[in-house]
Amino acid sequence: MRYEGQIFRPFSEANSYLLQATIGCSHNRCTFCGMYKKKKYRVRSMQEIKEDIQMAWEYHGDLEKVFICDGDAIAMETHQLLEILNTLYQTFPSLRHVGSYVGPCSTLSKSNSELKELREAGLVKVYLGVETGDDRILQEVKKGVSSEEMLEAGRKLVDSGFNLTAMVLLGLAGKGSRSREHALATADIINRIKPKYLAAMTVTPVPGTVLHQQVQKGEFQVLDAFETLEEMKIIFENITVDNLKFVGAHASNYLPIQGTLPRDKQKMLDTVEMVLRNREHRYLRAEDMRGL
């Protein structure tokens, strides 16, 4: 278990063994993201990866869950990922879950049959940073794809049988009328992708990122807590996907909220509306308790 630099994983992979197969993110250009700024993207050698798997077996014994790091492991050649998946399932007889972040560009670079092959080889859960459904914002934050391409990437993953978590960013349009457009377009793209999980996070400018510089220059105004809740409310009101698990507990969010849509829609809306009506900070996560 040798790790290079800081390692990130989704909240729901807290109990997974983290296997670092790539270093950094193959895209690494999103203006709001500072996760892999200090890393130059590369794929680790297969020998090193297999040594790490062997070390994990010696240290942990049998494992049920593995998360393949870093930012965009699906950018690896398909045959390399298949070799890793096969080694993992051969090494750990109880393994039932392998997850990974997937970038939209890398996803689009794979054919449907490659994605299906990866799913059949045991890559079960994937996390796609959709961020927004708004085409202009996707361009401004340098996500590398249009909203149509993001939709295509999301649909390819769902159609290939992956358990998809789509991640979106509240506040990505900054203050002003585009905040509402961002929320509406985000609900719309999620309705069309139809993931199993929707994870919302809140924009938090990280020093060293382009977004942080934009905030300092006054070019981007960060939403306050209540404005981010207005976006959350619009998303809840407009989601039509059946049985969508909403995950809002991320540390960047002001109001940790969870539920299944549409079953819990009214309860979730009531909670958000109550906080918005009372404008009381006591319901919200304090600024100094927020993080990424």
Strands 197-202 and 244-247: parallel
The nearest distance, CB 142 to ligand SF4, in angstroms, is 8
Does position 225 interact with ligand SF4 (CB under 6 A)? The reply is no
CA dist 27 to 17, 63, 71, 114, 212, Å? 24, 30, 9, 20, 19
Tokens read off for 253:
């969010």
Pick 46 or 292: Cβ nearer ligand SF4 = 292
- Report the residue number, 16 or 271, with the smaller CB distance to ligand SF4: 16
In angstroms, give the least distance from the CB of 64 to ligand SF4: 26
Q: Which is nearer to ligand SF4, 28 or 204 (CB)?
A: 28
Q: Roughly how many angstroms between the first and final C-alpha of the chain, as a whole number?
A: 24
For ligand SF4, give the closer residue by CB, 74 or 234.
Answer: 74
Minimum CB separation of residue 71 from ligand SF4 in Å reads 4
Count CB atoms within 10 A of the CB of residue 48. 13
- Look at residues 198, 219, 91, 122 and name the one whose alpha carbon lies nearest to residue 154: 198
CB 200 within 8 A of CB 168: yes
Q: How many residues at the interface with ligand SF4, by CB under 6 A?
A: 12
**Interaction residues for ligand SF4, span 250-269 (CB under 6 A):** none
Of 39 and 50, nearer to ligand SF4 (C-beta) is: 39
Q: Considering only residues 17 through 76, tell me which ones interact with ligand SF4, judged by CB under 6 A.
A: 25, 27-30, 33, 35-36, 71-72
Provide the minimum distance between the beta carbon of 30 and ligand SF4 in the complex, in angstroms, as a whole number.
3
In the complex, the smallest distance separating the C-beta of residue 131 from ligand SF4, rounded to whole angstroms, is: 7
Nearer Cβ to ligand SF4 (35/56): 35
Any long-range contacts for 272-278 (C-beta under 8 Å, 24+ apart)?
272/229, 272/232, 272/233, 272/236, 273/233, 275/226, 275/229, 276/226, 276/229, 276/230, 276/233
Q: Shortest distance, CB of residue 141 to ligand SF4, whole angstroms?
A: 8
Q: Which two tokens stand for residue 255?
A: 């109001």
x/- binding map, residues 79-108, to ligand SF4, per CB under 6 A? ------------------------x-----
What x-and-dash track marks residues 109-148 binding ligand SF4 by CB under 6 A?
Answer: --------------------x-------------------
Q: How far is the CB of 260 from ligand SF4 (least distance, A)?
A: 26
Q: Which is nearer to ligand SF4, 28 or 165 (CB)?
A: 28
- Per-residue binding string, ligand SF4, 228-247, x by CB under 6 A, is --------------------
Binding site for ligand SF4 (CB under 6 A): 25, 27-30, 33, 35-36, 71-72, 103, 129
